[in-house]
Structure 1
Amino acid sequence: MSIGNSPEDERPFEDASEEARPSIGRALRQARIARGLTVDDVSTATRVRIAIIHAIEADDFTPCGGDVYARGHIRTLARAVRLDPAPLIEQFEATHGGRPAPTPAAPLFEAERIRPERRGPNWTAAMVAAIVAVIGFVGFTAVKGDGGGTKEQVADGTTPEASTSASAVPKNDKPVDITPAPSDSAIAAAPQDKVTVQVTATDGRSWISAKDHNGRLLFDGLLKQGESKTFQDSQKVNLVLGDAGVIQLYVNGKKIDDDFRPGAVERLTYTKGDPQVG
């Protein structure tokens, strides 16, 4: 028997930092408790639903609706409890396969925007052209008829001033009556005593959540391309848009022209006095 280190004792120590590193949910929960915040406090500050916060703290990211939304929730919750979100995102990507490189979210939406759309015949332009043609034909016929009368008046020695002025008036006035194109307010008309928000997925699909002024959930789900939802409340409507870049909003009958980035998560609040950014 020899005195000294055995071969087993000479093996390098294993790095226990990975084993000691808390999970994403545990790190967020510990930081929240350390700051003296409840789940309700974090939900109120971030507009993230209580059920989703509980699930993330239990390392269950299924209710988020996908990896893109899960990353957005992790960043939001980390900032709320004063944590650096970058290490948590790296940890999430390491355990969930990382961000998909071949088909990132933003290029997909950009491709859908650039791709030309099939359009049907423009019946409005055809109708306007037909009206103008009819008016022109009537005016030409009237002028032609007046020309024959003018020749007779010249032969009789009279002047054609009265007939010329009479025929000129209908030619200039009638084209003004062409029906104007409908405005945005007419398309999305809304009552004045309520706040009305219309959400339409124009350039892709997006998860959305809507609540009234009491926090009651009006809708929570996926809005597919071409689908639309309308929400009303007596005071205000709170929105969370999972991919604001594909959404078109009408608030109280007026179009919102915010330039949202594709893939961006936006939290908005609108009242009866809007449109203005929530």
Structure 2
Amino acid sequence: MSIGNSPEDERPFEDASEEARPSVGRALQQARIAAGLTVDDVSTATRVRIAIVHAIEADDFAPCGGDVYARGHIRTLAKAVHLDPAPLIAQYDADHGGRPAPTPAAPLFEAERIRPERRGPNWTAAMVAAIVVVIGFVGFTMFKGDDGSGKNNVADGAATDTSASPTPKSKKPADPKPEPSDSAIAAAPQDKVTVKVSAADGRSWISAKDHNGRQLFDGLLKQGESKTFQDSSKINLILGDAGAIDLFVNGKKIEDDWQPGAVERLTYTKGDPQAG
């Protein structure tokens, strides 16, 4: 035993270096336990999944998905358990090769800026130039055609066109409608009354009913149209414009001096025509 030295002085010197410092995950776990929090409490407060909290406390940072996300989770968990996140992040960087240097943005920006810009053809300018050329050509042509020879050509052309114009074909006249003949009168049935209404000189509204009052026709008769009505005993007529109507009863034309626009109410029966 050496003189003047106590047994405590002969104990080996305990190195209080970084090896004695707890790991990042161990430091977070101890702080959580000291704060009286469970893993579920920390996960609920930080929205970090329970499996990732367990992995970080076991110093397994692979589930974090990369160094950037690992540093973010360390900072979030440290604040939840009341620790200063800066020393823990520095310790994580030292254990995992340090924080990567940021990529300078200036060279990329310069390269993008000096890249030549490809431009397509200027179709607008080409279209304007083509329109100007066309307008100039048309104006020059019109100016050249405005002299005396042009007028003579127009006159000559007019004379030529007049002489060469074809003679319009004459419209074939329509065949006149035949008047009822004796054969038509003879063909009219003797036991019935037959009335034919023809709009010879214009259109007219007409109404025709049989002896029972049943409506046979009620409408407009256009010029050139005709209607024939037949009944066993009697036909009642109303002519809206009697002056435009030719009337035939039992095959015989009724010769009455009806005025244009006059309204006539007529009744015809079997035998010889008679107005009622």
Shared fold (TM-score greater than 0.5)?
Answer: no
- Name the structure, 1 or 2, with higher relative contact order (CA <8 Å, separation 6+): 1
Shorter-normalised TM-score: what interval? 0.3 to 0.5
